[in-house]
Structure 1
């Protein structure tokens, strides 16, 4: 495990072989598995679960309620949201969960809305705005994201 000295990591739940790079913040309750790569300029809140061999590229903020299963790739500046009706100084009592299943990949600058599930091996195109669940093996692009094909095994 390597935690860069210019990061702020208070979680003790970080797996062997995981790297956390500079200017990253990982709060105390976060759980990060083995052999992950958490790139620079990331933020990970308390109720976040990252499984094994996950890559989180720079500029990604993982808010409470997010789970990334094994072998997930999250591209640069992907935006996860966790409040359907955000208002200043008004906080929702319920945090909708976001689940990204095994081997899914999310392209740069995609936006994932609250309460979304992304299926196994799904591929989210760069810049897509995901407003509905994405099935296993689906490739989605656009705003709102639409299925353009399926990945065959």
Structure 2
């Protein structure tokens, strides 16, 4: 366990896998079956469940619980106090552990502070979920989502800047920071090489 940093107040259960260069901060708890990639940061009071896979270079800010059946690909940002669920219709008096739904957050996506991701959805690559939004259906790659329930209001670049593109139709634009070219076609964004 010397290839990553663990604050003395953090709890890492035996069997958890944590990649080189990762940091586990104050009062975090990583359960025994968790698999965490390299160079991740788990902020204060973060909880990682048993059946969780987290790719390399993810940042999970303070007060986030990543429950069973959540998979974060590499480079995902989870903002402070955002929420994952793993049961669609929970009740305190009914055991539903056999009804957990899988949630997939693809590479480079951003989940803003205090947003909620309802279980069973897939969030596409480099999607950007605004603070406080509630995601209850799949999200397209590069989509900018806000509101309750969340609606798409635009497109974001890999760099994290809003792209000057309509929601539908065909168009092209350039990210002003990276000069990458993006194309909108058939309701999907792609990089033009």
* Shared fold (TM-score, shorter chain, > 0.5): yes
The Cα shift of 1:121 comes to 0.4
> Which TM-score applies when normalising by structure 2?
0.77
Structure 1: give runs of 5+ residues left out of the alignment.
none
Partner residue, 2:6: 3
Give the number of the structure whose alpha-carbon radius of gyration is greater.
Answer: 2
The answer as to whether partners of 2:16 and 2:31 remain within 8 angstroms in 1 is no
Structure-1 residue corresponding to 2:153: 148
Give 3-state SS (helix, strand or coil) of 1:143's partner: coil
Report the counterpart of residue 162 of structure 2 in structure 1: none
Aligned residue for 2:68, secondary structure, equals coil
Q: Deviations over 1:43-87 (max 9, x none)?
A: 111000000000000010011000000000000000101111111
**How large is the Cα RMSD of the aligned pairs?**
0.9
Q: How far did residue 12 of structure 1 move?
A: 3.5
1:54 aligns with 2:86: no
Gaps of 5+ in 2: 158-181, 183-193
Partner of 1:86: 90
1:125 aligned residue (123, 130, 138): 130
Higher relative contact order (CA 8 A, sep 6+): 1
Query: TM-score, normalising length from structure 1?
Result: 0.97
Contact 2:23–2:40 (8 Å) recurs in 1: yes
Aligned positions of 1:16-35 closer than 5 A: 16-35=20-39
